[in-house]
Amino acid sequence: MITYDDDIVCAPRAGTLYDVLELILDRGMVIDVFVRVSLVGIEILKVDARIVVASVDTYLRFAEACNRLDLEHDVRSKTVPELFGGPVAATIGRAGARRTARSLTDKVRGLLTPEEETEEQEPLPRAGREERGRSPQRPRSRPAGRPRAEDDRPRPRTRRRPETEE
Amino acid sequence: MTVTAAITTTAATATALDALYVYGITPAGVRTPRAQGVNGAPVRLLTESGLCAAVSAAPVRLLPRRRDLSAHQAVLDELAAQGPVLPMRFAVLSPEAGVLRSELRSDAAHWTKQLDRVRGCVEMNVKGAVVPGYFAELVRRDENLRALARRTRRRPDYEANVRLGEALARSVRREARHAAQEVLTHLAPLAVRTVQGPVDDEQVLSTSFLVRSADEPRFRQALDDRAREVGDRLALSVTGPLPCYSFVDPRPAPAGR
């Protein structure tokens, strides 16, 4: 569980291979007499990099967190970030230290297949199937009169993708 | 959505036996990188017209595997440590050594000029992400948000919660974007050139700075200062020094991809 404290780590985090991926893949020279090999999976990577946080799920988590603030006195509740999970948790709390859009990182991890999988012939399409398999369509909206108790129920904070699928 | 389309994209093409994987171009006289190349192949140098190309035997299949991306990066790091280098994009092949040599020969002036443009410089890539936790501070400061929060609490239905959450998400994003602008304003004067990268709702800053090696400590210090200044709104991360991926021009009218 991420705890929120005022001792925010502000120092810029050192980058990793993930941070430099877009540079290696999209920048640098391509010379016309040379050939750039077409790479399976790069397109997936780019799509995932653009997954937006602006989903109803995120909004509800913001609202949930906000509803626990003491609006009249101390709004800097210590319990606030515990309400967040998924992409939001990736950036909350120790600002910077734990950054990196989790959506992107996870996807990149899946894409840059672990060493033991790299000898497989089609690691990337396989990853794609998995992704679809564990993301059953969730309804985008819920009935307005839904009881609060249900919203407050702890639920797994795994990242869900349906909101980004048009 | 696009995932399905991506899967059907052509697989990595099988390559001819004498094809070469090209890492980058340097002035002649550099040491051969000791790092293993893509697919574990040894790296060698082709020298022509005062220029060097770092190459290795092209793998039969090429995938964006972690170790191959790292290998590409490691070879270029070694070259960059010795002087200017023009990094190729990942997965660029030359059909055979002759083609590469004649390319170096016929455009030697172009490459030399490009090398001069990045000589003594490194690339620093700075990214900034929204800090969602800042919403609490915004609610404390912003009377409108507080009023919205109070209304929502009185009538906590689904729609109201979505509206409140959306307003909060928008506000933290806006604050992060302002902070990103602030960071750019402070860092840009320390760089020779800057190039913007893609940004989205969460990653609101992604900029590469071409920095003189001598100025790198100053740049880092400025970045640290900025990170402290905006850390509650924008989480900064920095990658570098890097080979100057973002500051090389592909040839005029390149084939693209």
Decide which of B119, B148, B170 is a domain's last residue.
Answer: B119
Same domain? For B144 and B87 the reply is no
Mean pLDDT check: name the lowest of B10-24, B102-116, B199-213: B10-24
Q: Chain A window 56-115: which residues touch B at a Cβ cutoff of 8 Å?
A: 56, 58-67, 69, 71, 75-77, 80-81, 84, 87-88, 91-93, 95-97, 99-101, 103, 111-115
Q: Is residue B163 part of a domain?
A: yes
Name the residue in chain B with its Cα closest to that of A12. B237
Q: Is residue B3 part of a domain?
A: no
- 3-state secondary structure labels for all residues of B131-158: CHHHHHHHHHHCHHHHHHHHHHHHCCCH
CA distance B214 to A56: 47
Same domain? For B80 and B140 the reply is no
Strand partners, B210: B123, B193
Q: What are phi and psi of A93, to 5 degrees?
A: 75, -120
Same domain? For B33 and B87 the reply is yes
CATH code assigned at B176: 3.30.70
Same domain? For B133 and B222 the reply is yes
Interface residue A134 vs chain B (CB under 8 A) = no
Our CA dihedral for B39, B37, B216, B229, rounded to 10 degrees, sits at: 10
A93 chain-B contacts, CB cut-off 8 A: 133
Q: Chain B window 25-64: which residues touch A at a Cβ cutoff of 8 Å?
A: 25, 62-64
Same domain? For B230 and B128 the reply is yes
Determine whether A100 is exposed, middle or buried from the number of CB atoms within 10 Å of its CB (0-12, 13-18, 19+): buried
How many other CB atoms sit within 10 Å of the CB of residue B198? Answer: 11
Interface residue B1 vs chain A (CB under 8 A) = yes
Share of chain B above pLDDT 90, in %: 81
The pLDDT, as a whole number, for residue A135 is: 36
- pLDDT single digits (tens) B43-61: 999 999 999 999 999 998 8
Q: Is residue B253 part of a domain?
A: no
Name the residue in chain A with its Cα closest to that of B163. A59
Q: Is B8 or B211 the better-scoring residue by pLDDT?
A: B211
Interface residue B135 vs chain A (CB under 8 A) = yes
CB contact under 8 A, B169 and A65: no
CB contact under 8 A, B161 and A63: yes
Q: How many CB pairs under 8 A join A and B?
A: 327
End-to-end CA distance of chain A: 32
Q: Is residue B50 part of a domain?
A: yes
Contacts of A138 (CB under 8 A, 6+ apart): A160, A162
Domain containing residue B64: 11-119
CB contact under 8 A, A66 and B253: no
Same domain? For B63 and B136 the reply is no
CB contact under 8 A, A67 and B149: yes
Same domain? For B75 and B163 the reply is no
- 3-state secondary structure labels for all residues of chain B: CHHHHHHCCCCCCCCCCCCEEEEEEEECCCCCCCCCCHHHCCCEEEEECCEEEEEEECCCCCCCCHHHHHHHHHHHHHHHCCCCCEEECCCEEECCHHHHHHHHHHCHHHHHHHHHHHCCEEEEEEEEEECHHHHHHHHHHCHHHHHHHHHHHHCCCHHHHHHHHHHHHHHHHHHHHHHHHHHHHHHHHHCCEEEECCCCCCEEEEEEEEEEHHHHHHHHHHHHHHHHHHCCCEEEEEEEEECCHHHCCCCCCCCCC
Q: Is residue B229 part of a domain?
A: yes
Which residue shows structure tokens 């900025």?
A: B226
Decide which of B119, B138, B170 is a domain's last residue.
Answer: B119
Q: Is A115 or B91 the better-scoring residue by pLDDT?
A: B91
Contacts of B71 (CB under 8 A, 6+ apart): B35, B36, B37, B38, B39, B40
CB contact under 8 A, A53 and B135: no
- pLDDT single digits (tens) B30-39: 999 999 999 9
Same domain? For B112 and B227 the reply is no
Same domain? For B240 and B132 the reply is yes
CB contact under 8 A, A95 and B91: no
Q: Is residue B4 part of a domain?
A: no
Q: Is A159 or B213 the better-scoring residue by pLDDT?
A: B213
Helix (H, G, I), strand (E, B) or coil at A35: strand
On the question of pLDDT at B169 being above 90, the answer is yes
Which residue shows structure tokens 């299949």?
A: B61
Q: Is residue B255 part of a domain?
A: no
CB contact under 8 A, B88 and A31: yes
On the question of pLDDT at A94 being above 90, the answer is no
Q: Could you tell me the two tokens for A49?
A: 């990099």
ipTM of the complex: 0.77
Same domain? For B95 and B35 the reply is yes
A112 chain-B contacts, CB cut-off 8 A: 64-66, 69
Q: Is residue B135 part of a domain?
A: yes
The overall longest dimension of chain B from CA atoms, in Å, is 77
CA distance B127 to B226: 12
Same domain? For B31 and B65 the reply is yes
Mean pLDDT check: name the lowest of A30-34, A82-86, A135-139, B245-249: A135-139
Q: Chain B window 167-206: which residues touch A at a Cβ cutoff of 8 Å?
A: 168-169, 195, 197-198, 200-203, 206
Residue of B159, B237, B257 to mutate, testing the A interface (most A Cβ within 10 Å of its Cβ) = B237
Same domain? For B177 and B236 the reply is yes
Domain count, chain B: 2
Name the residue in chain A with its Cα closest to that of B169. A59
Decide which of B90, B119, B148 is a domain's last residue.
Answer: B119
* Closest to B43 in 3D by CA, of B24, B67, B66, B69: B24
Give the strand pairing for B20-27 and B86-87: antiparallel
Determine whether A105 is exposed, middle or buried from the number of CB atoms within 10 Å of its CB (0-12, 13-18, 19+): middle
On the question of pLDDT at B136 being above 80, the answer is yes
- pLDDT single digits (tens) A43-93: 555 545 444 445 788 899 999 999 888 877 654 444 444 445 444 433 333
